[in-house]
Amino acid sequence: MSIIGVDIGGTKCTLAKADEKGTLISEPIVFSTGDVAWTLSEIYSVVARLEPGNDPIFGISCGGPLDSARGIVLSPPNLPGWDRIEIVRELTSRFGGRGYLMNDANACALAEWQFGAGQGAEHMVYLTHGTGMGGGLILNGRLYEGASGDAGEVGHIRLADTGPVGFGKAGSFEGFCSGGGIARLATGRIPGMASPSAKDVAEAANRGVPEALEVMRESGRYLGKALAMIVDCLNPQVIVLGSIYTRSSHLLEAPMREELEREALPSALAACRIVPAGLGERLGIMSAIAVATYHCK
């Protein structure tokens, strides 16, 4: 049995072959995402090159919305033209085997749980902490998706009556703490930066620019407020934070911890580790592999 991981992103796709334990047995193959017909053709071509064998298991990670149960991609905003693409059926009709489709936040949660910073935990929360603020929940040793598949969408939580817009809501967790939110939070506040990106803000903070440091501290405080809610409600053993935290924890951790200690139940906070994601650049492809290994158990 072989596993073929297919990570479909708005700018690039990554495929690789793994064994039944999720260990890569090929180098990841990466190509830019083009129009839907070309990208699908390239996916099929790469799968053939990976020699999937007679009974492969496909793990597919993709941004939503999806109909995961039926293996259908439903017009994700970062994938124009991907309208009701039956990706599981397309792959299995060509190559046989089985296939499983999952939204990228849940898939990344599985990857960090199985192979990364959350290994060994029965109760883990993963937050993307990137351009947006998505999340995935591992509860009682299982992925928790909720009644409509929307569990983990913590970016929608409102933290203040006003503030940067994220997830379509002013003052939301995503608004204050995502990459897009940090950029909006910083607009007009840092000298010489009319429309800074989150990367610009972090670089300025690393240079000691006071206004940039304050933006990062403010984002860190709101990060702590949101994490306190998660700690109190879900009582996880570990919270794994992605992209921004992995690069800028030194700017965010002190104000985050201050809010956590102020807001969270002490016993629940004492039981929870908060750590950066561990898979780095491998997270995308390992998320696709993890979708397959999870369903094989």
- The per-residue DSSP string of 130-172 comes to SSS--EEEEETTEEE--SSS-TT-GGG-B-SSSS-EETTEETB
- Alpha-carbon gap, residue 214 to 244, rounded angstroms: 16
What digits encode the pLDDT tens for the residues 219-276?
999 999 999 999 999 999 999 999 999 999 999 999 999 999 999 999 999 999 999 9
What's the CATH number for 117-278?
3.30.420.40
Residues 6+ positions from 148 with CB-CB distance below 8 Å: none
Question: Which residue in 15, 12, 38 sits closest to 25, CA to CA?
Answer: 15
Domain limits, CATH 3.30.420.40, in the chain: 3-103, 117-278
Does pLDDT of 297 surpass 80? no
Does pLDDT of 189 surpass 90? yes
Paired sense of beta strands 83-85 and 29-32, if any = unpaired
Query: Which pLDDT band holds residue 77 (cuts at 50, 70, 90)?
Result: confident
- Say if residues 60 and 291 touch (Cβ distance below 8 Å): yes
What's the CATH number for 3-103?
3.30.420.40
The pLDDT score that the predictor gives to residue 150 is 84
pTM for the structure as a whole? 0.92
- Which residue blocks in the chain are alpha helix, DSSP H? 36-49, 87-95, 104-115, 173-177, 179-186, 198-206, 210-234, 243-263, 266-270, 283-296
Does pLDDT of 194 surpass 90? no
